[in-house]
Amino acid sequence: MGMIETLESRNAKVQANVPEPVVACGQLQPAGTWGSFGMGRLSPAAGLLKQRSANKNAGQLSTRGAMFKNNRQTMFALTTDKLYAFETKIGYGGIKILGQLVEWNRADLTVQTIPGKLATKVVIDHADGGHYELEATTVASKGYNDPLLAELSAWPS
């Protein structure tokens, strides 16, 4: 398999890391990643600072806390009862799951989705007080995130 990965092959890799049937999965990055990318074209230092802020707002759902570390996307998997988040790396052969970041009960979460031009912002609040801001790329994404966004949008906010 080359750089292009099908939705089915990606879902199979995710399912192999989740002990129960996956309802939906998709990739999210820290909210503001698209904005920091654009800002970085005008001022690289400003882009780095904006990305650092975005990583901080994503909390433990983004392992990119270092200022100069590349941003990797986080893979989310939803089951009927849980939300799993995995650190991933994308390269030759498609997505590679590096490790599990969280396993949360869905009952402990409140999720809000806010559609935008390039991405849909996903705000997750955990019952323990955790607040996480991420985004799912929707422009030119071939619908890979549509099942995840549909499932998240159906949650009470």
What pTM was estimated for this model as a whole?
0.80
Which residues are 96's β-sheet partners?
A: 89
Closest CA to 5 of 110, 97, 105, 120: 97
Average pLDDT over residues 50-76: 61
Chain centroid, CA 149 distance in Å: 11
Q: What is the pLDDT of residue 55?
A: 64
**Residue 145: Cβ-neighbour burial (10 angstroms; 0-12, 13-18, 19+):** buried
All structural domains of the chain? 7-149 (2.30.29)
Q: What is the pLDDT of residue 1?
A: 41
pLDDT tens digit sequence for 24-57? 998 887 765 655 555 556 666 655 665 665 566 5
98, 91 in Cβ contact below 8 A? no
More confident residue, 29 or 1: 29
More confident residue, 117 or 39: 117
CA distance linking residue 6 with residue 109, whole number of Å: 29
Rg of the Cα atoms in the chain: 15
CA end-to-end span of the chain: 39
**Residue 33: Cβ-neighbour burial (10 angstroms; 0-12, 13-18, 19+):** buried
Q: What is the pLDDT of residue 67?
A: 46
